[in-house]
A and B are shown apart, each in its own frame.
Chain A
Amino acid sequence: MSATHTTPRPAATTTPVSRMTALARAELTLLGRTRGALFAALFVPLVMPVSVRAASEDMDLAGAGLSTGTLVLPAAVGFSLLFAVYSVLVGAFVVRREELVLKRLRTGELRDVEILAGTSLPAVLTGLAQCLLLVVGCAVLMDLSAPSAPHLVVLGLLLGLVMSAALAAATASFTRTGESAQVTPMPLLMVSMIGSGMFAPLELFPDRVASVLELLPLTPVITLVRGGWTGDLSAYEALGALATAMAWILIAVFAVRRWFRWEPRR
């Protein structure tokens, strides 16, 4: 062994972007190698919209100003966020913590937020690609016209991606092991599928119940995507959805700052 250098090199300084890119690249390789997680992430969001479509046949959608397409399309986005982003990232954060990878990364130049963002990036990009695919697929297959307010669709999608990653980190704060990471995402998955307007639009719920369901994390995302497509969303409603989504992101960030653990409990 010799400690002398053989290659001259420039004193390249890392930047947040270069560091996160390096981390995200490794994380993408890892995502490709975890078959179970990859399968769930890629296929569940493709299959679930079909069951939503089946369920919608018994509903009075027209009475709520909706069609099968404007129910299924936002639901598909929701499934993608929940399965390809949120669940995958809860597992990724917990497993990296158990492997002491997070601790290792914290000994280096990466800042804490860069570690979380870099780890999230591959799942977020997967989710984004999947959402775009699903949106185009639904629109084509179910004869939807172009969205009336595309900016609201984009806003909903971006808020949804950021929120899913932030909530995943927050959930990981309360998840001790890789095994429990199979279970801890369940509550949000269930609550969102039932209560956030994915299987049934909130318009079909009693008003009082609906006004509570509006406050669930994924509801504003679904509302913005659907409203952006139908054009039925008032500016007031859109702002309300934006505020709710931002509130959940802030709650998740607070929880992560307060409770996120970088190494396993001993």
Chain B
Amino acid sequence: METNGHEHVIEVTDLRRVYGGGFEAVRGISFSVRRGEIFALLGTNGAGKTSTVELLEGLARPAGGRVRVLGHDPYADRAAVRPRTGVMLQEGGFPSELTVAETARMWAGCVSGARPPAEVLALVGLEAKAGTRVKQLSGGQRRRLDLALALLGDPEVLFLDEPSTGLDAEGRRATWELVSALRDGGTTVLLTTHYLEEAENLADRLAIMHEGRIATTGTPAEVTAAEPSRISFELPDGYFVGDLPPLGELGVTGHETDGRIVRLRTHELQRSATGLLMWAAQARVELRRLDVRSASLEEAFLGIAKDASGQQAMGMTTKEYAA
């Protein structure tokens, strides 16, 4: 399949990865990334993000399914793909006794059309560290060195595995700006992260992975829209859930109680909140610890993690209303 213009630069179909011990890290996932798009794989540790990215980078052969990067199989057709991709692994991979400049020079010698090493080091703010041994760099500086090397060959496709882990707030912001600028310049970026903020800020589209599968995918807005908004409060003394107005009529789609705390889910936040507050005003009770929040990526993320881990925790009851 040819990739040109607005076609898909990365195509993943029913991809599976099984490790030697029989552990199935990736369990049949499909997605595609368009040219010039930032696509984020979001998930908790162990969700299968890195296992997936390594297959896209061509480091391992999938147990099943198909990967195409720039129209080629990245494992079998390495020579065609590698000169056009840049990779930032989750963890370093530099000899600890080389200096930053020596590391960059070595990698530049292995990259077609490499930019001058000093130029990419300046891009990530490491120019002052050129003479420093890698082992003396902080974790954040190593991440930036890794990013610099991934950019050496001006790649069309950039794979970033947890690019901002270990960075301070300022470094993270700078990395986001750099990655956004690259996207604006036409680079396609696939990144993994467990920072929701990062996915929300950077990604044009994202997929949330859980236990080797894609639980949900779309633009950040789409993923969020599918999630309910939430209202939580403490039941006033002497009141029970049954004393509340009929929740279904307020647009509430479900609720759960955790001791005295009540949590409501709704897709009509204004209607539900208004109904609840009117009821409280009429009953002259105060809803302590009242919290009203729109759906966010965080809700979506936590919802997925929770669904899987089983929500029937002790003392917690859940009720769903028929739509």
**A interface residues (Cβ-Cβ under 8 A, vs B):** 1-7, 9-14, 18-19, 21-23, 25-26, 29-30, 33-34, 96, 99-101, 103-111
Report, nearest first, the 9 A-B pairs whose CB atoms are least far apart.
Answer: A22-B109, A104-B93, A107-B87, A26-B106, A100-B93, A3-B181, A11-B113, A33-B97, A109-B82
Q: Does B78 contact A (CB under 8 A)?
A: yes
7 additional contacts (CB under 8 A) given A4-B181, A108-B107: A3-B123, A22-B106, A25-B106, A34-B97, A103-B93, A109-B83, A111-B79
Give every chain A residue within 8 A of B119 (Cβ-Cβ). 5-7
List chain A residues, Cβ under 8 A from B112.
11-14, 109
- Residues on A with C-beta less than 8 A from B113 are 9-13
Q: Which residues of A contact B91 (CB under 8 A)?
A: 100
Question: In angstroms, how far is the closest chain B Cβ from the Cβ of A119?
Answer: 10
- Whether B89 lies near A107 (C-beta < 8 A) is yes
Q: Please, how many angstroms separate the alpha-carbon atoms of A19 and B83 in the complex?
A: 12
Judge whether B107 and A30 touch: CB under 8 Å: no
Report the minimal beta-carbon distance from B58 to chain A, rounded to whole angstroms: 8
CB distance from A260 to the nearest CB of B (A): 14
Interface size class of B (residues with CB under 8 A): 35 or more
Closest to B146 in A: A104
User: 16 pairs across A/B with beta carbons < 8 Å?
Assistant: A1-B124, A1-B178, A3-B181, A5-B115, A12-B113, A13-B112, A22-B107, A99-B94, A100-B92, A103-B89, A103-B93, A104-B93, A104-B94, A107-B57, A107-B82, A109-B79
Q: Which residue of A lies closest to B182 (CB)?
A: A3
Q: Pick the contact of B125: A1, A5, A13, A19 (CB < 8 A).
A: A1
With A and B bound together, what is the CA distance between A1 and B112 in angstroms? 23
A14 touches B89 (CB 8 A): no
> Does the CB pair B93–A30 fall under 8 Å?
no
Given A1-B124, A1-B125, A13-B113; A22-B108 close (CB under 8 Å): yes
Tell yes or no: B302 within 8 A of A by CB.
no
Chain A residues in 8 Å Cβ range of B114: 9, 12
Distance in Å: Cβ of B272 to nearest Cβ of chain A: 44
Q: Separation in Å of the A224 CB from the closest CB of chain B? A: 35
Contact A9 B107 (CB under 8 A): no
Given contacts A26-B102, A100-B91, are A2 and B111 in contact (CB under 8 A)?
A: no
